Structure 1
Amino acid sequence: MNSSAHDLPPAAAATADAAVVREATDRLLAATEALEPDAVTEPSQLPGWTRGHVLAHLARNADALINVLSGRPMYAGAEIRDADIERDAHRPLAEQLADVRTASDQLDALFAAQDDEGWQRTVELRNGVKDLASGIPFRRLIEVELHHVDLGIGYTIEDLSAEFTDRETANMAKRFTGHPDVREAIELRAEDGRSWRTGAATGDPLVIVGTPAALTGWLTGRTTGSGLSAAAPLPVLPVL
């Protein structure tokens, strides 16, 4: 990923991100195709989910983002979303991979069909959250990269690109800023001196230092904070 991709105009940044989504999806599919067929039934690194649940979620998330870009509700409802994942989680590995590939290809085609005006329109996601359409490729990249880690097949937080972890650290800092369940003021500080403020708006922040990869792992609930240092115990963050 170009290190300045997120500094480009929205349409150009979205197009660049869409290309990285394709690369990340191909990487995930290639790694998963190498598994033994029964590996899909084994536990993932997400509590209560098998690898089949993770793959089913990735396919249905692609469908959901197609809905978003097409002006439809992202999901028909939370219960339906969960039921669709549970329904699809128990299929054979080959069927799972074909579904992820087909849904991802359809989303990729929709990305390719966007013009400048299309990328700059406002779209609505779950729970009334709104974003520019140009933000959707990075949202999909987050899903693909973090769930590749969640599959527990050798791809770890440390394998994520520096560009991705920089952006995801900033993204999660924004997400937790003012969050009612994060009562502490927090300063996330990379080892090169860059910093992101999050949590409560007032008070002396707890400074948490580490690489963006370590910060991303903790902020997204993929690690307990390994590789990070702070003067006090790390706060308990909300479950995503």
Structure 2
Amino acid sequence: MIDHAHDLDALHEATERLLSATEKLDDAALAQPSRLPGWSRGHVVAHLSRNADAIVNVLQGRPMYADSETRDRDIERDASRPRAEQLADLAGSAARFMDAASAPADWSRTVTLRNGVTDSASRIPFRRRVEVELHHVDLGIGYELEDLPEEFVGREIDFLAERFDRHPKVVSIGATADDGRSWTTGGGAEGNPVVVRATAPELLGWLCGRRDGSALTVEGGPLPVLPPL
């Protein structure tokens, strides 16, 4: 069962880690490439700021973004701002989200996200936490998948396994972490079932496109190619 109050507390901690880390960046560091193709660190920070405001829209019943073009244009517009503006916006947008999420609300209601995706409002704090945690890693400033809280790693693998379940381009996959946790996913494409084993952070990295899977032990066939998220 989703506990939105727990997720809001965990999100606050993740956001504080992010804000503390980005405080150490200067203008030159923000302009350097991130780990996301074509994006500087400034793009990642700008995306996190605009995503926070977009999720406020979701919680308050408005469209998440006006359209994809506006989303992309706003990120590009904000990516090269001076450090002080970037970091003030990152902190301010995070605070606006927490204010909106703290208002009395029916957390069991259904909300609409980008591209018509719907979900329970109770899952929104965790969705925002995913953005904060993974994009912190994407900045390439010393926070790695191995630094992510164990509980978060397991839940995000749960989410991604559910997302790829019965996907028409993914064969059956059984994934096992070295701590004994296991997941199944795929199964919508023809081909032999594949078993993969690794640490939980390595499994997460492969499933979310942050690692190439070279650290995984694979049995039953080649490592499946996963579709983009």
C-alpha separation between the residues in 1 aligned to 2:165 and 2:214? 22
1:113: which partner in 2? 103
SS of residue matched to 1:123: strand
1:143: which partner in 2? 131
RMSD between aligned residues = 1.4
SS of residue matched to 2:174: strand
2:215: which partner in 1? 227
Residues 87-133 of structure 1, C-alpha deviation per residue, up to 9 Å, x if partnerless? Answer: 11110112111101111101001111134xx1110101112111110
Summarize the alignment of residues 77-116 of structure 1 with structure 2, pairs less than 5 Å apart.
Answer: 77-115=67-105
Summarize the alignment of residues 1-240 of structure 1 with structure 2, pairs less than 5 Å apart.
Answer: 7=1, 10=2, 13-115=3-105, 118-182=106-170, 184-201=171-188, 204-231=192-219, 232-240=221-229
Specify the code of the residue in structure 1 equivalent to 2:194.
Answer: L
Offset, 1:143 = 0.1
In the alignment, structure 1 segments of 5+ residues that lack a partner are 1-6
Residues 130-167 of structure 1, C-alpha deviation per residue, up to 9 Å, x if partnerless? Answer: 11100000000000000000000010111001101000
Residues 110, 121 of structure 2: 8 Å contact kept: yes
SS of residue matched to 2:48: helix
Residues 154, 200 of structure 2: 8 Å contact kept: yes
TM-score (normalised: structure 1): 0.90
Specify the code of the residue in structure 1 equivalent to 2:59.
Answer: L
C-alpha separation between the residues in 2 aligned to 1:62 and 1:128? 18
Residues 59, 99 of structure 1: 8 Å contact kept: yes
Residues 177-199 of structure 1, C-alpha deviation per residue, up to 9 Å, x if partnerless? Answer: 122332x1111112233321111
Offset, 1:30 = 0.7
C-alpha separation between the residues in 1 aligned to 2:215 and 2:155? 19
C-alpha separation between the residues in 1 aligned to 2:212 and 2:85? 34
C-alpha separation between the residues in 2 aligned to 1:98 and 1:133? 27
SS of residue matched to 2:141: coil
Q: Which runs of structure 1 show a deviation greater than 3 angstroms over 4 or more consecutive aligned residues? A: 201-204
C-alpha separation between the residues in 1 aligned to 2:22 and 2:214? 26
C-alpha separation between the residues in 2 aligned to 1:139 and 1:178? 22
SS of residue matched to 2:35: coil
- Flag the 1:106–1:238 CA change in 2: closer, same or farther, 3 A: same
Residues 214, 226 of structure 1: 8 Å contact kept: no
TM-score (normalised: structure 2): 0.94
Specify the code of the residue in structure 1 equivalent to 2:204.
Answer: T
C-alpha separation between the residues in 2 aligned to 1:128 and 1:114? 25
**67-76 or 29-38, larger mean C-alpha shift:** 29-38
**Residue identity (%):** 57
**49-58 or 119-128, larger mean C-alpha shift:** 119-128
Specify the code of the residue in structure 2 equivalent to 1:198.
Answer: T
C-alpha separation between the residues in 1 aligned to 2:146 and 2:118? 31
In the alignment, structure 2 segments of 5+ residues that lack a partner are none
SS of residue matched to 1:83: helix
SS of residue matched to 2:119: strand
